[in-house]
A and B are shown apart, each in its own frame.
Chain A
Amino acid sequence: MTAFVLKRLGFAVITLFAVLTIVFFIVRILPGDPAMAILGDQASQEALVALRARLGLDQPLYVQYVQFLGGVIVGDWGVSMVSGRPVIQEILKVLPATLELTIVSLILGAVVGVPLGVWSAVRRNKLPDYITRMASLLGLSFPAFVSAVLLLLVFAIQLRWFPVISSGQGTTLGERLRDLALPAINLGLIMAAYITRVARSAMLEVLNQDYVRTAYAKGLAFATIIWRHCLRNAMIPVVTVVGLYLGILIGNSVLTEIVFNRPGLGKLIIGALNQRDYTMLQGMMVIYTLIVVLVNLLTDLTYGLIDPRIKYS
């Protein structure tokens, strides 16, 4: 187990290093001078030179690279070129809002998706199966901003059940839930569509196994066979795929945050792109990579919890 965790950690560090290197160079070749972007094109030459020196942009590229890597490790991600505040503070300020949204959506997706997938598999090639398959295919065909706009049109503008703009700043639990509801339903239903499909195909494979036939032959209750014997085995591919869909979830959360005008990493990255805030962009990509690498690691480790047969070697 320890060796496995160490090996996975080693791989995570290599991936992180590789992505950080790519990030550093991508951000450096963005067209446009950040000093000019901050001061405006009327700024004097002296002011531009001074600002470049203050931001470290006058240093040779390899010095900037070493400083960048060192900074990432010790938690110094530089200061925002626009607001002047430390990047890590700005990110940490909005990170909880994004995490809250994605985690709630993921839970919603699993709560809706897993039972639907199981039901669809058990009723294979019957009407419930066809309906579930079509509905899930439709669900994953929705660009997140399209479904967000439609939800907003129906539930916030026509029916007025939810606020049009979710501030994400609500203090009471009720306010927070009301703010969170539509964005989480939007992301959650798309995730449910993905999860339903994986759960269905994983269940289909398990349902054909010999031990399931044995369980039937022993006279076990149908529900026990499905939920206790089949689902537990079918969950491994489901967990893997949910880990793989993290990228989709992150992309969709950006779009959802924009439509619902909800604070979070999505709004932060769009702002940073528009204002050419190099250090902020760098920090955003570091945090996204960290999240992806960490979730992949957790996904690998979760297998053991679901399936005790898996030995980490």
Chain B
Amino acid sequence: MTQATTTSLSRVAYLRSALAATGSGLLKAFNANKTSWVGLGVFLIVAALAILAPWIAPYDPLDQNILFRLKPPSAEHWFGTDYYGRDTLSRILWGARISLAIGLLAIGSAMLLGTLIGMIAGYYGGRTDIIIMQIMDVLLAFPSLILGLIVVAMLGPSIANLVIAIALTAIPPFARIARAPTIAVKNREFIEAGRALGYSDTRLMFGHILPNIAPEILVMGSLWLATAIRVEASLAFIGLGVAPPTATWGGMIREGFENILDSFWLALFPSIAILIVVFALNLLGDGLRDAIDPRLRGEE
């Protein structure tokens, strides 16, 4: 067998074991706290509804019908219609796509970048650590909604820019979360052994340290996804969301708010939608965090 095949085989093997370690860590956490399953279930249902929106939405979310404007909930329009006669239910279903897409993209990238930054800071320590964490602390000092507000106002409200703005506010917390366990893990014997075998820093970090800290990062990811969806809706409410007529939950509440005295359902239904998703994600992440937090482990 050639040298190259051996390396690639061992790489596949350790990647597999790394994934298995992360998976079993998460599964244990799930079983320790049953409310996490409820949170995951609700979130998956919402995600499925969002994906299936083009097929299950009863109307086109942009279809205006002036004759049917501001109609209360009825058999034809379960959640009523808005100022332009658009079907609220269809807009909520389509709006879910925007909220979830922006949330997942923003938190996915913040998780990747933040974890990488935190691992580098924790692994190399010393001056690298001090400088990186100082920058993170400065970013953390700033209220995230205000930072998001300014970045979106600066770059213009588009899906890509909202993703950047939200990701930027979420990178420092992930860096902090990744740094602490990296410091704890890097001095353990198995890392020492890896170093003695001549493994590279990259291999040690990604193959051996990352699987150990991954469950914690993923749990924080679910909690931050909840925050991201909340921030996106808040920005849309302020008027810095994806531009109308695209349906966004925050934007719908903003429009509904203008007609709140006579058509309260316009603001009510998207509000409930946001609440369900954010609550489900918090239920998921909170239960998992309780289960994997070493301070609370074994106490139930």
| A interface with B by C-beta (< 8 Å) | 15, 18-19, 22, 26, 29-31, 125, 137-138, 140-146, 149-150, 152-153, 157, 201, 204-205, 246-248, 250-252, 254-255, 258-259, 269-270, 273-274, 281, 285, 288-289, 292-293, 296
Q: How many residues of B contact A (CB 8 A)?
A: 44
- Check A255 against B149 for contact (C-beta < 8 Å): no
The CA-CA distance from A312 to B18 in the complex, in Å, is 43
Residue of A nearest to B270 (CB): A146
> Interface segment, B76-84, B150-158, B187-195, B212-220?
B150-158
- Check B283 against A31 for contact (C-beta < 8 Å): no
Query: Beyond A137-B286, A247-B144, A285-B150, is A15–B268 a contact (Cβ under 8 Å)?
Result: no
B60-96 to A contact mask, C-beta < 8 Å, 1/0: 0000000000000000000000000000000000000
- Check A250 against B279 for contact (C-beta < 8 Å): no
Distance from A94 Cβ to chain B, minimum over Cβ atoms (Å): 15
- Say yes or no for B179: interface residue by CB 8 A criterion: no
- 7 new A-B contacts, CB < 8 A, other than A22-B138, A255-B145, A255-B238, are A15-B141, A146-B233, A248-B143, A254-B149, A285-B150, A288-B142, A289-B142
Residues of chain A within 8 A of B286, CB atoms compared:
137
Query: Beyond A247-B144, A251-B146, is A141–B271 a contact (Cβ under 8 Å)?
Result: no
- Say yes or no for B137: interface residue by CB 8 A criterion: yes
Pick the contact of A250 from B146, B296, B300 — CB < 8 Å? B146
- Say yes or no for B100: interface residue by CB 8 A criterion: no
Pick the contact of A149 from B238, B271, B283 — CB < 8 Å? B271
**Interface pairs (5), CB distance under 8 Å:** A19-B142, A146-B271, A247-B143, A270-B239, A273-B149
Query: Beyond A31-B156, A251-B234, is A293–B261 a contact (Cβ under 8 Å)?
Result: no
Residues of chain B within 8 A of A273, CB atoms compared:
149-150, 153, 240
Distance from A78 Cβ to chain B, minimum over Cβ atoms (Å): 17
The CA-CA distance from A26 to B151 in the complex, in Å, is 8
Distance from B240 Cβ to chain A, minimum over Cβ atoms (Å): 8
Q: Secondary structure of the B side of the interface?
A: helix
Pick the contact of B154 from A26, A205, A250, A288 — CB < 8 Å? A26
Residue of A nearest to B279 (CB): A141
The CA-CA distance from A245 to B149 in the complex, in Å, is 18
Residues of chain A within 8 A of B9, CB atoms compared:
none
Distance from A282 Cβ to chain B, minimum over Cβ atoms (Å): 11
- Say yes or no for B127: interface residue by CB 8 A criterion: no
Residues of chain B within 8 A of A137, CB atoms compared:
279, 282-283, 286
- Check A157 against B154 for contact (C-beta < 8 Å): no
- Check B282 against A288 for contact (C-beta < 8 Å): no
The CA-CA distance from A248 to B239 in the complex, in Å, is 19
- Check A296 against B282 for contact (C-beta < 8 Å): no
The CA-CA distance from A281 to B260 in the complex, in Å, is 30
- Check B234 against A144 for contact (C-beta < 8 Å): yes
B271-288 to A contact mask, C-beta < 8 Å, 1/0: 100110011001100100
- Check B146 against A269 for contact (C-beta < 8 Å): yes
Query: Beyond A141-B226, A141-B278, A269-B149, is A292–B295 a contact (Cβ under 8 Å)?
Result: no
The CA-CA distance from A274 to B239 in the complex, in Å, is 10
